[in-house]
Amino acid sequence: MTENLTMAKALNAGLRAALEQDDRVLLMGEDIGRLGGVFRVTEGLQRDFGEHRVLDTPLAEAGIVGSAIGLAMRGYRPVCEIQFDGFIYPGFDQITSSLAKMTYRHDGSQAFPVVIRVPYGGHIGAVEHHQESPEAYFAHTAGLRVISPATSHDAYWMIQEAVRSNDPVMFFEPKSRYWQRGDVDLDAASAEPMHRTLRVRAGTDVTVLGHGAMVATLLQAAEVAASEGSSLEVLDLRSLSPIDYGPILDSVRKTGRLVVAQEAPGNVSVGSEVAATIAERAFYSLEAPVLRVSGFDTPFPPARLEDLYLPDADRVLEAVDRSLAY
């Protein structure tokens, strides 16, 4: 059975399934109950499951995460919502200093099944601290799983797998995709493991790789390239930690070229790590240097300038042209 859903509705359906399947699952966050969250991802869930399972919290991210850690120690499986990407920093210490290290500190005897949902990225014309891409901080932190869906189908299945994980999961949701529709196959056999890199378009000339909202931009670039006689292979990273390098290496060994794209700034980023690893592990297959396309190394600009800051298909294609010129 297939349903056509926006990503927001797919996440809602995935959270509903998780709540139905396990009484230990709790949702918690600012305005997620009666309001249904700023983006209405949790709409209707408090009505159907009650205030004891879908909790409106104070405006205190450190308190949200700290409470979730304690709940996990008592056997619950809390799912926290951080209202906007730039609001995560008050909870940063709890995530990186405590949550990420607790299982290791307990020598594996204590599980910490906490999911932290983070709407992130640009393209919504919002103000400061509402359009950032902070995923590299958490991908760098040992002890955290970091994933980001690009489609409604992946959002539906990956949020359920994240909730079932006994490890802490940072679940980055590309907010610009919340209102984009896509088919969701409700057959469990169609679900790919959340840490698998997927090929979403086959090609022969250049491999282009991204995650979250950037995947749609790469597909757009691939359409333009095809009209100009170039064939781009598009990969969806999906998992930022750990990274599934197998499909990336297979693709690069075929095309000989790689362009990595992301909305986040390029300095010390997920794209930087992918570029370095591919250069190490597939050096003799490369016909050109691995190239990166990213946001600029500045704070996110005012909304009227976001189109200049965020990578688009033209910037991706410019990198593709440079790669093919070697």
Provide the annotated active-site residues. Answer: 130
Q: What share of the chain is helix, strand, coil (3-state, %, to 5)?
A: 40, 20, 35
Within the chain, what is the greatest distance between any pair of CA atoms?
A: 60
Tokens at 232, concatenated: 């781009």
Question: In 3-state terms, what secondary structure has residue 308?
Answer: helix
- Give yes or no for a contact between 115 and 171, defined as CB atoms under 8 angstroms apart: yes
To which residue do tokens 């059975």 refer?
1
Tokens at 184, concatenated: 């969701």
Write the CB contacts of 23 (distance below 8 Å, at least 6 apart in sequence). Answer: none
Question: In 3-state terms, what secondary structure has residue 287?
Answer: coil
**β-strands 239-241, 258-265 pairing:** unpaired
- Give yes or no for a contact between 69 and 102, defined as CB atoms under 8 angstroms apart: yes
| CA dist., res. 272 & res. 313, Å (int) | 20
**β-strands 145-147, 239-241 pairing:** antiparallel
**β-strands 232-236, 198-201 pairing:** antiparallel
Tokens at 55, concatenated: 């909790």
Tokens at 74, concatenated: 């008592």
288 CB neighbour count, 10 Å cutoff: 16
